[in-house]
Each structure stands twice: as C-alpha cells, then as structure tokens.
C-alpha cells in the first residue's frame, strides 16, 4: 500500500497560519460543517493541504478549546493519566475538556517531564529514576575515603559528611521506592545487600558495580503478612490512604481506560491491590536516625493525607533535601565518632 499523496504538492503553503487563512477555515466549517478534510482546502479557498487544515482546526481554531495555562488540577490529572495510559495523548485529552492532545503533549514535554525528572522520577515509567547520578557522584568521595587516599583532615570530614548524607538519602529513598513499588519495607539497611551477597554491605557499592539496584524486587505482601513481619499497623493504614487516593482517581476513568489501568497497575506501575507501606523506617540501625521524628513528619503526613499522592511525597522530600534542614540533623548524628553507621 502506497503512502497517502495528501501533502505531496509542493505548491501548497506551509508554516504559520495567517489570520485570513484562519478566517477562511472558520467560515467554511461554520457554514458547511466538518466533512472531508481532503476536499476542504479547495472548497474553502485555502492553499493548504487537508491535513494542515485539520491540525489547525483541532489544535487551535476549534471553538471549545480552552486556552491559557494548565491548572494544578489539570497537571495532576495529566500525570496520573499518563501513568496509566502512557503517551496516548489523544486518550488523555478526552479526560481534559477543552485541551487538545497536542497541547497536552507539549505541556508534558516542556513542563511536567522536567518536573518529574527534577523530582527523581522517571517520566516514562513513573518510578524513581535508576540513574541517581548525584548519588553516584557523591559516592566517588566515599570511594576515596574507602581506599585511604585522604589528603587532609578536612577532606576526611567532607567525605564523612557526604557518606552520611548518602546513607540517609539512600535509606529514605529506599523506603520511598518500596512505597512506589508496593513492596514491604526493608527491615534494615543490610537487607538491600542480600541480593548481592554478604560481602557487599555498602548498598551504593552495588549501584556502582551494577550488582545491585535501587529496585530490589521482592514479593508483594498482603496486609496480614505486613503485620506478621512487624510492620506497624499505621504503615498499613497509610498504604490504604494511597490506595484510596488512587481509587478516587479510578472513578474518573472510563471503562476502557479502567481496564488498561488495572492491567498496568497490577504489573509494573502502581500497586493498588497490594497495600502500600507508609514512609516509616523500622530499621534498628536507622531508628536512631529517625529519632528526629518531627523532621520526617512532613513526609509522613504527605502520605497520610487521603488526597495526597506519591508525587506529593516526592516533592516534599526534594523540598526537604533542598532546604537541608532534614539532612542537617542526620549529618549531625552520623558525622559524630559514635556514629551508628558502619559499612
């Protein structure tokens, strides 16, 4: 089957539309309604191909198009829909009255995508990014300390701080990842090293040498299994809060999308059937880190809120990280000689 000869005519005008052209198109459609796009240009007196006319109409001239900035509500909806439908912009657009697929696509590529990346979330998978370059970069400092090639005591202090920061970040990230993956919480930090053997006690080492990832796949647990493993009941409740928030969103989906959503969520996206744990650490080692409980409340409350999403938690985390107040307390704890952390 050959390609359509629709726009092969080189004499047809391309590029930005002039107001007169817009008016011709509008007048024609108002008078004759939508018919064959192929025939429209000639009938409307336009030196454009039908495809160009259709695009101009559907993306710009249609009277029901809502112009202007996307609201936060719309942005959240787009993110959620994208996590369910992927790059099905036309499908996503059907859930946002007055918005075109092209507009949503542009908004995604220019705003949301960057925002998610900044938050450490892979915009394609909606899971946390596996390329934590900043963590890896920091880990070089650790490696230096590990091999004893310190130059000055000041270097040592810097590396210690970097290491402590990384450990704290890793632990928190780990919990978040567990939440996002719908997995049980890791009881302690050594748990992540199980997959790579007892010699690899540094989780970052696994990241560096490729033997470990931030997404240690573990079996999903039922609420009862959660409890049996000693996870606080609150954690289970928290998980239901997230599930509820998702189910609210599900209500807004059409049946067709619902089927897709269920398919995705049960495989590699968000888990709603399996309860999600809360952002609480049960690690004996890290419990001392979490003594500064007030500092983690912001993150926890984000999860506790029935209307919050995982993205809220991430955003809060990143804000905390940026402000440094949260990490400062951890650093104060871990940079002391009696630091409970040892790799």
Partner DNA sequence: AAACCCCACAACCGCGAGTAT
Partner DNA sequence: CATACTCGCGGTTGTGGGGTT
- Of 29-37, 126-134, 240-248, 303-311, the segment contacting DNA by CB under 7 A is 29-37
Question: Which pairs with CB-CB distance under 8 Å and at least 24 residues apart come from 186-191?
Answer: 186/216, 186/283, 187/229, 187/230, 187/282, 187/283, 188/282, 188/283, 188/284, 188/285, 188/286, 189/283, 189/285, 189/286, 191/216
The enclosing H or E element of 174 equals helix 153-181
Interaction of residue 17 with DNA, rule CB under 7 A: yes
Work out which of 41, 50, 182, 278 binds DNA, going by CB under 7 A.
50
Q: Which is nearer to DNA, 211 or 268 (CB)?
A: 268
CB closer to DNA out of 315 and 329: 315
As measured in angstroms, the least distance from the Cβ of 259 to DNA is 16
Nearest approach in angstroms of CB 105 to DNA is 6
Stretch that binds DNA, among 8-16, 236-244, 252-260, 309-317 (CB under 7 A): 8-16
76 binds DNA (CB under 7 A): no
Rounded Cα distance, 239 and 272, in Å = 9
Rg (alpha carbons) of the chain, rounded to whole number: 26
312 backbone dihedrals φ, ψ, rounded to 5°: -60, -45
Give the chain's length. 343
Candidates 107-115, 154-162, 241-249, 299-307 — which segment interacts with DNA by CB under 7 A?
107-115
Q: Which of left, alpha, beta for 276 (phi over 0: left; psi -120 to 50: alpha)?
A: beta
According to DSSP, the residues that pair with 128 across neighbouring strands are 121
**Greatest extent of the chain over all pairs of C-alpha atoms, in Å:** 83
Q: How far is the CB of 130 from DNA (least distance, A)?
A: 20
Rounded CA-CA distance 152/158 in Å is 10
Which among 34-42, 157-165, 294-302, 313-321 is the span making contact with DNA, rule CB under 7 A?
Answer: 34-42
Rounded to the nearest 10°, the torsion over CA 161, 197, 209, 150 is: 40
Three-state secondary-structure class, residue 128: strand
Minimal distance, residue 37 CB to DNA, in Å:
3
Strand partners, 121: 128
- Of the residues 26, 75, 76, 88, which one makes contact with DNA according to CB under 7 A: 88
Nearer to DNA, 51 or 258 (CB): 51
Residue with tokens 């040592």: 156
Q: Which span sits near DNA by CB under 7 A: 98-106, 184-192, 277-285, 287-295?
A: 98-106
37 binds DNA (CB under 7 A): yes
Token pair for 314: 């991430």
Determine, following the binding rule CB under 7 A, whether residue 16 of this chain makes contact with DNA: yes
CA–CA dist 174, 342 (Å, integer): 18
Binding of DNA at residue 318 (CB under 7 A)? Answer: no
- If binding is defined by CB under 7 A, does position 47 make contact with DNA? no
Residue 335: C-alpha distances to residues 101, 160, 326, 330 (Å): 51, 6, 14, 8
Under rule CB under 7 A, residue 115 binds DNA: no
33 binds DNA (CB under 7 A): no
Out of 24, 28, 56, 316, point to the residue binding DNA (CB under 7 A): 56
Count of positions on this chain that bind DNA (CB under 7 A): 40
111 near DNA, rule: CB under 7 A: yes
When binding is defined by CB under 7 A, the residue of 23, 47, 71, 109 that contacts DNA is: 109
Cβ closest to DNA, residue 9 vs residue 251: 9
The verdict on 55 binding DNA (CB under 7 A) reads yes
Instruction: Name the residues that contact DNA, by CB under 7 A.
Output: 1-7, 13-17, 35-38, 50-52, 54-56, 59-60, 69, 87-91, 101-103, 105-107, 109-111, 114
């Amino acid at each position: 089957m050959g390609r359509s000869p629709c726009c092969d005519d080189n004499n047809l005008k391309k590029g930005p539309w002039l107001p007169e052209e817009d008016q011709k198109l509008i007048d024609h459609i108002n008078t004759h309604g939508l018919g064959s796009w192929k025939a429209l240009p000639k009938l409307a007196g336009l030196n454009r191909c039908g495809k160009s006319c259709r695009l101009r109409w559907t993306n710009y001239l249609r009277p029901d198009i809502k112009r202007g900035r996307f609201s936060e509500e719309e942005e959240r909806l787009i993110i959620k829909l994208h996590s369910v439908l992927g790059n099905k912009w036309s499908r996503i657009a059907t859930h946002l009255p007055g918005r075109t697929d092209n507009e949503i696509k542009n908004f995604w590529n220019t705003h949301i995508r960057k925002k998610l990346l900044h938050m450490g979330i892979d915009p394609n998978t909606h899971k946390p990014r596996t390329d934590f370059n900043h963590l890896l970069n920091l880990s070089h400092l650790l490696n230096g300390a590990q091999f004893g090639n310190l130059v000055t005591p000041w270097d040592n202090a810097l590396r210690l701080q970097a290491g402590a920061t990384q450990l704290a970040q890793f632990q928190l990230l780990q919990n978040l990842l567990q939440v996002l993956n719908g997995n049980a919480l890791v009881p302690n930090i050594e748990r992540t090293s199980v997959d790579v053997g007892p010699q690899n006690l540094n989780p970052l080492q696994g990241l560096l040498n490729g033997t470990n990832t931030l997404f240690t796949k573990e079996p999903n647990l039922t609420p009862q299994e959660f409890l049996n493993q000693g996870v606080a009941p609150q954690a289970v409740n928290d998980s239901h809060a997230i599930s509820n928030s998702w189910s609210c969103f599900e209500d807004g989906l059409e049946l067709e999308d619902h089927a897709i959503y269920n398919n995705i969520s049960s495989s590699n996206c968000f888990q709603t059937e399996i309860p999600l744990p809360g952002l609480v650490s049960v690690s004996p080692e890290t419990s001392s880190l979490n003594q500064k409980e007030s500092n983690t409340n912001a993150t926890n409350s984000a999860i506790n809120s029935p209307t919050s999403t995982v993205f809220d938690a991430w955003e809060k985390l990143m804000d905390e990280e940026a402000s440094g107040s949260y990490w400062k307390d951890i650093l104060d704890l871990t940079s002391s000689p009696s630091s409970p952390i040892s790799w």
